[in-house]
């Protein structure tokens, strides 16, 4: 049991390099199963979700080794197991990608239902609809998703919601399906494009990723590859917001500025300065932050995974801000914890009304999920006195050694064992 302890009040200043994208990594690692060969994947973030997935792949018979902290070498030629019912699977949301990958390669999969962050109902009906359209029989029994197909055939699939998970999962299952699969109303997030690029580098024929319509023409096999994962949009956004919240000046390197447009635009609207280079950007806070309205949307809209961090920033802006969550039905659970720091936020369904500027003071708080944990860190950086954050395991699922990055920018943050005095 560990906690992060932050003594707030310091401006963040300096530069850091952004890690590889978590949500691309957790799709690409299961996709290795389709290769039946050796994949070298670079720029993987070294985070709990990656470690759990690599462990799962190993148990399925894939030979996995880290060439260095961020490079995985995985040989999936020996995978023959199609059942993934391990503890490591249950912890993860992204374990659902094992269904698409195993079904795509072997025509069958039995995988424990996904876990992951809890912010309301997180159905997988669109994944199942896609697998069924390709010719699989899918049932849920004793907490397992069981999918089987004598033969997968390409089909048109219209998604009722532009789901990231369903789009990627159907792409994985359809790589070898006979004929053409067309996913309409597909998700357009950068990690969807990254996963499609990874499949194409191995010889798949996926076209249109990044638009509403993705076409996958089945191929007979894939080959070995080397691939570099894109930078993490959400990690970059978290540091941009932290810089703005502390009135600091931070340069984020190794990023794709285009992916950051919705965040850069909001920070500029609040009065911050955001300057872009080819693969970096610099955020400088404003003396007086203006209130704004933020509505989470699918890409290229403002990402739901930055909604909690943005809400904290709005707490220290002067005036009334509105945050509308349109992607998930219950992603304001962390507000109770924010209030312990002195944030003034009221919730009405999927809308939060934020009154600022609040004078934040340090408190003992608990991360209720990954991004909520990131929001509490930002709150702690702005608060007077010490903030101690529990449930750090959530934060470790998605941010690689976040306290080292923040310390290098001048934050007073340390990791302590829970029993140590804070």
Phi-psi region of 214 (alpha: psi -120 to 50; beta: other; left: phi over 0): beta
Tokens representing 154?
A: 């390409």
Smallest Cα–Cα separation from 311: which of 327, 334, 288? Answer: 334
Q: Please, what is the Cα angle at 232 between 228 and 238, to 5 degrees?
A: 160
Catalytic pick from 117, 195, 236, 272? 117
| Residue list 11-70, contact with ligand EPU (CB under 6 A) | 22-23, 26
Separation of first and last alpha carbons in the chain: 13
Near ligand EPU by CB under 6 A: residue from 76, 95, 112, 126: 126
What is the DSSP code (8-state) at residue 294? E
Residues facing 145 on adjacent strands: 111, 140
Question: Is 236 tagged catalytic?
Answer: no
The region of 53-61, 124-132, 219-227, 347-355 touching ligand EPU under the rule CB under 6 A is 124-132
Phi-psi region of 345 (alpha: psi -120 to 50; beta: other; left: phi over 0): beta
| Per CB under 6 A, 313 contacts ligand EPU | no
CA distance 393 to 123: 24
Count Cα atoms within 13 angstroms, Cβ side, for 410. 15
Within its chain, how far is the Cα of 107 from the centroid?
Answer: 28
| Residue list 240-269, contact with ligand EPU (CB under 6 A) | none
| Per CB under 6 A, 280 contacts ligand EPU | no
| Per CB under 6 A, 135 contacts ligand EPU | no
Closer to ligand EPU by CB, 176 or 302: give it.
302
The region of 69-77, 125-133, 148-156, 382-390 touching ligand EPU under the rule CB under 6 A is 125-133
Q: How many residues does the chain have?
A: 422
Tokens representing 278?
A: 């080819």
The region of 57-65, 116-124, 215-223, 313-321 touching ligand EPU under the rule CB under 6 A is 116-124
Near ligand EPU by CB under 6 A: residue from 16, 29, 166, 202: 166
Work out how close the CB of 305 gets to ligand EPU at its nearest, in angstroms, rounded to a whole number. 5
Considering Cα of 59, then 21, then 187, then 126, what sign does the dihedral take? positive
Tokens representing 353?
A: 């009304």
Work out how close the CB of 196 gets to ligand EPU at its nearest, in angstroms, rounded to a whole number. 14
Work out how close the CB of 268 gets to ligand EPU at its nearest, in angstroms, rounded to a whole number. 23
CA distance 316 to 383: 10
Near ligand EPU by CB under 6 A: residue from 3, 127, 249, 266: 127
CA distance 198 to 295: 31
Sheet of 156-158, strands arranged across: 156-158, 180-184, 213-217, 205-207
Phi, psi of 356 (to 5 degrees): -135, 170
The region of 8-16, 160-168, 266-274, 405-413 touching ligand EPU under the rule CB under 6 A is 160-168
- The answer to whether the CB of 186 falls within 8 A of the CB of 162 is yes
CA distance 78 to 60: 9
Total number of residues binding ligand EPU (CB under 6 A)? 26
Residue nearest to ligand EPU (CB): 165
Closer to ligand EPU by CB, 305 or 400: give it.
305
The region of 133-141, 163-171, 387-395, 411-419 touching ligand EPU under the rule CB under 6 A is 163-171
* Range list of H helices, 107-212: 125-133, 164-174, 190-201
Near ligand EPU by CB under 6 A: residue from 19, 76, 163, 251: 163
Near ligand EPU by CB under 6 A: residue from 327, 338, 382, 383: 327
Near ligand EPU by CB under 6 A: residue from 181, 255, 371, 392: 371
Closer to ligand EPU by CB, 296 or 321: give it.
296
Neighbour count for residue 123 (Cβ, 10 Å) = 11
Near ligand EPU by CB under 6 A: residue from 48, 194, 305, 325: 305
The region of 6-14, 121-129, 193-201, 268-276 touching ligand EPU under the rule CB under 6 A is 121-129
Near ligand EPU by CB under 6 A: residue from 66, 86, 106, 328: 328
Closer to ligand EPU by CB, 10 or 350: give it.
350
Catalytic residue numbers? Answer: 117
Contacting positions for ligand EPU (CB under 6 A)? 22-23, 26, 93-94, 117, 122-127, 161, 163-166, 187, 189, 304-305, 327-328, 370-371, 398
């Amino acid at each position: 049991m560990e906690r992060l302890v932050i003594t707030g009040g310091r401006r963040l200043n300096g530069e850091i390099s952004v890690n590889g994208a978590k949500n691309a990594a957790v799709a690409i690692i299961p996709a290795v199963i389709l290769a039946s060969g050796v994949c070298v994947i670079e720029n993987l973030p070294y985070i709990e979700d990656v470690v759990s997935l690599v462990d799962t792949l190993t148990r399925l018979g894939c030979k996995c080794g880290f060439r260095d902290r961020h490079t995985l070498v995985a040989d999936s030629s020996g995978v023959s197991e199609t059942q993934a019912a391990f503890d490591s699977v249950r912890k993860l949301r992204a374990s659902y990608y094992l269904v698409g990958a195993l079904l795509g390669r072997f025509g069958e999969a039995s995988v424990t239902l996904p876990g992951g962050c809890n912010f309301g109902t997180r159905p997988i009906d669109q994944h199942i609809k896609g697998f069924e359209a390709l010719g699989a029989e899918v049932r849920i029994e004793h907490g397992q998703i069981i999918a089987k197909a004598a033969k997968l055939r390409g089909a048109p699939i219209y998604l009722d919601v532009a789901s990231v998970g369903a789009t990627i999962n159907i792409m994985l299952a359809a790589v070898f399906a006979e004929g053409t699969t067309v996913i309409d109303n597909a998700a357009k997030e950068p990690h969807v494009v990254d996963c499609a690029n990874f499949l194409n580098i191995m010889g798949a024929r996926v076209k249109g990723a990044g638009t509403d319509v993705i076409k996958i023409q089945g191929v007979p096999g894939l080959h070995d590859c080397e691939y570099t994962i894109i930078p993490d949009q959400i990690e970059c956004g978290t540091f941009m917001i932290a810089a703005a919240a502390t009135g600091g000046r931070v340069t984020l390197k190794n990023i794709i500025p285009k992916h950051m447009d919705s965040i850069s635009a909001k920070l500029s609207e609040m009065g911050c300065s955001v300057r872009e280079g080819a693969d970096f950007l610099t955020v400088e806070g404003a003396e007086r932050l203006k209130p704004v309205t933020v509505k989470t949307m699918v890409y290229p809209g403002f990402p739901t995974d930055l909604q909690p961090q943005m809400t904290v920033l709005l707490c220290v802006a002067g005036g009334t801000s509105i945050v509308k969550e349109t992607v998930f039905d219950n992603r304001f659970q962390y507000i109770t914890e924010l209030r312990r720091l002195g944030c003034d936020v009221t919730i009405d369904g999927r809308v939060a009304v934020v009154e600022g500027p609040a004078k934040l003071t340090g408190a003992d708080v608990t991360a209720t999920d990954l991004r909520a944990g990131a929001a509490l860190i930002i709150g702690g950086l702005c608060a007077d006195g010490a903030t101690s954050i529990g449930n750090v395991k959530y934060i470790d699922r998605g941010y690689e050694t976040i306290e080292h990055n923040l310390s290098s920018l001048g934050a007073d943050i340390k990791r302590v064992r829970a029993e140590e005095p804070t």
